[in-house]
Amino acid sequence: MSDPAVHLLYIDDDAGLRRLVERTLGRTGYEVTPAESGAEGLVLAARKRFDIIAVDHHMPGMDGLATLAALRALPDCPPVVYVTGADDGRLAVAALKAGADDYVVKSVGEDFTDLLRSAFAQTLERGSLRKAKDAAEQQLRASNDRLASLLREVNHRVANNLQMAIAFIGMQAMLLPEGEARNALLATQHRIGAIAQVNRRLYATGDVQSVEMRDYLTGLAHDLTETWSTPQGPRKVIALADDISIQTDRAVTLGMIVCELAGNACKYAYGTHEPGEVRIVLRKADDDRLVLVVEDDGVGLTADSAAKGTGLGRRLVNALARGLGATPAVDPDHKGLRISLEFALKA
82-118 pLDDT, tens digit each: 998 766 778 888 888 999 999 998 876 668 888 888 9
**pLDDT value, residue 1:** 44
Asked whether residue 187 carries a pLDDT value surpassing 90, the answer given is no
**Which residues are registered as beta bridge partners of 120?**
none
Which residue would you say has higher pLDDT here, 308 or 79? Answer: 79
**Could you give the C-alpha distances from 105 to 12, 83, 87, 339, in angstroms and in order?**
14, 6, 9, 80
The CATH fold assigned to 6-138 is: Rossmann fold (3.40.50)
CA distance 96 to 103: 8
Whether domain 211-344 has CATH 3.30.1360.20: no
Confirm whether pTM is higher than 0.95.
no
- Tell me what pLDDT residue 304 has: 53
Q: Is the pLDDT of residue 174 over 60?
A: yes
Reply yes or no on whether the pLDDT at 309 is more than 70.
no
Burial category of 315 from C-beta neighbours within 10 Å (exposed 0-12, middle 13-18, buried 19 and up): exposed
Domain layout of the chain by residue ranges: 6-138, 211-344
Q: Decide if pLDDT at 305 tops 60.
A: no
